[in-house]
Amino acid sequence: MNNSKQTDAAKPKMSGKEYAKGLEKLQVELCRLQDWVTATGQRIIVLFEGRDGAGKGGTIKAITERVSPRVFRVVALPAPSDRQKTQMYMQRYMEHFPAAGEIVIFDRSWYNRAGVEHVMGFCTKEQHRTFLRVCPQVENYMISTGITLRKFWLEVSNKEQERRFQARIDDPIRQWKLSAMDLPGRSLWYKYSKARDMMLEATDTEAAPWVIVPSDDKKRARLNCIAYLLSSIPYKMVPRKKVTMPKRSTKGAYDDEATLKGRRFVTEKY
C-alpha cells in the first residue's frame, strides 16, 4: 500500500474517455468482487467521510452503478429522531450492518460524532472524547466477528470546496446538494481540520486504518479509491454458469400487442 501523499495538481487533467475506460475495467472487477462476496458469505463495510463537497456521493455512485443493490447496500442516515437520541450512539448504525453476502456502504457514518456533531455543538465535549476513546474498541470487535471494514476520508482543498459550493449555488439543478450544514461549515474550515486531525489520531488503527483520498480531481479520486478498495480485499473470480437465452414457448400464443390498443400510453414528446 502506498502511504505517501498524492497531489492532483501535479498530474494532467484526465479526459472523459480515459476516465470511462478506467472506470469500466474497475466496475468489471467490482462485479467479480460481488460474486465472491455472495458465494462466500462475506460481510463488508465501506464507509466514506470527508469535508462537504469532497465527492463522496459521486464516488459511491461510481462503485454502485453496475452492481446489484441487493449486495451493495448504500446507507445514508438522516438526523437521529428523538427516540434514537436516547439510544446508545452506535445503535442506529449497527442495525444496518451487513448480513452474509452483503457489502454496506455508509455515506457518512458513526464518525458524524467526530466531525459535524463535534464542530457544530450537537454533542458535548465529553461525548466527543468518549467516542474517540471507544470507537477503536467497537471497530476491533466488529472485525473480530468477521466483518471487513474499510474507511476512506476524501480530502478536498479549501479553494476547490469553495468552487464546488459556488457551482451548487449558481446551478438550480445542483442546489439540492447544499445541506443546512454546508454553508455554515465553510466558515469553520479550521475547526473541521482540527476535528479531522483528532479523529485520525484516535481512530487510525492498525486493525481499521483510514485511507485518505485526495479529491480535487474527482475522476482520479474515484478511480484511485475503487482500485484501492479492490486491492485491499483478497477476492477471487467465482466461475459462472454459461447463460443461454431460452426459446419462447408458443403455447397459448395470441396477439398480446393488440390487447393494449385503447390503453393509456405515455405522450411521446421525444
- The 10s digit of each residue's pLDDT in 211-234 is 999 999 999 999 999 999 999 999
Whether the pLDDT of residue 88 is over 80: the answer is yes
Whether the pLDDT of residue 146 is over 60: the answer is yes
- The 10s digit of each residue's pLDDT in 13-60 is 889 999 999 999 999 999 999 999 999 999 999 999 999 899 999 999
> How many other β-carbons are positioned within 10 Å of the β-carbon of residue 265?
8
Closest listed residue to residue 50, CA positions, set 203, 225, 192: 192
C-alpha cell at 99: 448480513
Q: What is the pLDDT of residue 60?
A: 98
Q: What is the pLDDT of residue 1?
A: 47
Whether the pLDDT of residue 92 is over 90: the answer is yes
Q: Which residues, other chains included, contact 248 with Cβ-Cβ below 8 Å and sequence gap of 6+?
A: none
Neighbouring C-alpha atoms within 13 Å toward the C-beta of 56: 23
CB burial class (10 A; 0-12, 13-18, 19+) of residue 237? Answer: exposed
Q: What is the pLDDT of residue 13?
A: 82
**Architecture of domain 8-235 in this structure:** 3-Layer(aba) Sandwich (3.40)
At 19, the amino acid letter reads Y
Q: How far is CA 197 from CA 116, 144, 174, 206, 221, in A?
A: 13, 26, 30, 17, 21
Spatial separation of the C-alpha atoms in residues 92 and 77, rounded to whole Å = 9
* Domain residue spans of the chain: 8-235
Report the mean per-residue pLDDT for the chain: 93
Whether the pLDDT of residue 5 is over 60: the answer is no
- The 10s digit of each residue's pLDDT in 155-207 is 999 999 999 888 888 888 877 777 766 777 788 999 999 999 999 999 999 99
Asked whether the whole model's pTM tops 0.85, one would answer yes
The C-alpha angle 38, 211, 186, rounded to 5 degrees, equals 115
Q: What is the pLDDT of residue 9?
A: 53
- Strand, coil or helix: what is 7? coil
Spatial separation of the C-alpha atoms in residues 96 and 87, rounded to whole Å = 15
At 252, the amino acid letter reads G
- Strand, coil or helix: what is 144? helix
Q: What is the pLDDT of residue 184?
A: 75
- Strand, coil or helix: what is 93? helix
